[in-house]
Amino acid sequence: MARQSGYTLVSKAIPSRRRTGFYELIVADFKAGKDKSALVDGTERKPATLVQGLRKVLKAEGPSNVKVVQRGDETYLVKG
């Protein structure tokens, strides 16, 4: 008698990765606003993680007049 394995293998293609859009939303909101600079606050992300995520979004979007600036533990978006 064959022993049951307790699992099943199902043939399925791997789905593509999906971004949450968190950093994209921050950048889009800043671009839509009139402020020349703004502190990004209340994200509960570590400063280095926040800076990296925002810079990655800006790099993926291509040339832009927005840049990310970090001063201590504070992260700013600046137009110019």
| Strand extents, DSSP E, 1-80 | 37-40, 66-71, 74-79
14 found inside a domain: no
Place of tokens 């990296």: 52
Residue 29: which domain range? 22-79
Contact by Cβ (8 Å): 50, 40: yes
Number of domains the chain is built from: 1
Is residue 1's pLDDT more than 60? no
Is residue 60's pLDDT more than 70? yes
15 found inside a domain: no
10 found inside a domain: no
2: burial class by Cβ within 10 Å (0-12, 13-18, 19+)?
exposed
CATH of the domain at 53: 3.30.1370
59 found inside a domain: yes
* Full-model pTM: 0.74
11 found inside a domain: no
Q: How many CA atoms lie within 13 A of 33 on its CB side?
A: 15
pLDDT in tens, 14-54: 988 766 689 999 999 999 999 999 999 999 999 999 999 99
pLDDT at 3: 63
